[in-house]
Amino acid sequence: MEFTKMNGLGNDFIVLSGYKELPDNVAELAVRWCNRFFGIGADGLVFILPSEKADVQMRIINSDGSEPEQCGNAIRCVAKYVYDRDPGKREAITVETRGAGVQQVHVTAEKGIAKAIRVDMGEPVLQGLEIPTTIDAERVIDQPIEAGGRTFTFTAVSMGNPHCVIDVEDAPSFDLAAWGPLLEQHPLFPNKANVEFVTVRSRDYADMRVWERGAGPTLACGTGACATLVALVLTGKTDRTATISLKGGDLLIEWNEADNRVYMTGPAAEVYKGKVEE
């Protein structure tokens, strides 16, 4: 089986194309291949499949074998993969996702190679039960959440997948391993949650670190950066356009007031190609 190793700001994936559907043993494959000691090593598998609604369909399998609804870094990798191999070099690409429908992507290229990818991530979901949380409220903003004997304050947002955004004193040094698992699996989140720890530096810049549902600590999370910007706007801490700085690099996020949609701009990289026996 041939694969391409790609990453979006260090959030890395084993990208596979040429399949009509997911393999029956895809969860087992993900656990084995994503293992960084005995496998290829990655945060997840990304399958590029045919679509009746868009140019391609994207399916993601986390390193633990679970399937998330959406992934912002993966969709940029998919767009780069498709664009770089497209003889027509179409700058506008549509990608069907499991949880966020068909998403519009625009590629900026240099010498025929995709460099920056802008993704229409859609409208954020803010209603508590739809995110989902167990809180029946129109918006879940600055709510207390207790875990491991400590109380945090969080804002919940769905970008096609659930996010729990928490302000902390210094996100880059925050202990993800201690608190991420407890909050990911908190009873307030029926489908678990991605957890973002954020520190605002200015009206247009914030540091964020992430514990991803099903993958653990990753260098970047595109949907998490989008959810973080939305949460910071809702709590009055940043403007509607800001740079969200992750461990792997920066993403420019805009929550457009006119259409209520969130736009993410950032890079994707192809690292190497390989084959694995199966």
* Binding site residue list for substrate: 11, 62, 72-73, 161, 194, 212-213, 222-223
Bridge partners of residue 277, in order along the sequence? none
- For residues 139 and 158, the answer to whether their CB atoms sit within 8 Å is no
- For residues 140 and 128, the answer to whether their CB atoms sit within 8 Å is yes
- For residues 96 and 57, the answer to whether their CB atoms sit within 8 Å is yes
Q: Which residue ranges make up the annotated binding site?
A: 11, 62, 72-73, 161, 194, 212-213, 222-223
Rounded distance between C-alpha atoms, residue 157 and residue 169, angstroms? 21
Please identify which of the residues 77, 164, 221, 226 carries the catalytic annotation: 221
Closest-CA residue to 121 (of 267, 265, 261): 261
Please identify which of the residues 71, 77, 164, 226 carries the catalytic annotation: 71
Residue with tokens 């190679």: 113
Active site residue 71: yes
Bridge partners of residue 61, in order along the sequence? 45
CB atoms within 10 A of CB 132: 17
Active site residue 164: no
* DSSP string across 160-211: SSEEEEEE-S-GGG--HHHHHHHHHT-TT-TT--EEEEEEEEETTEEEEEEE
Catalytic residues: 71, 221
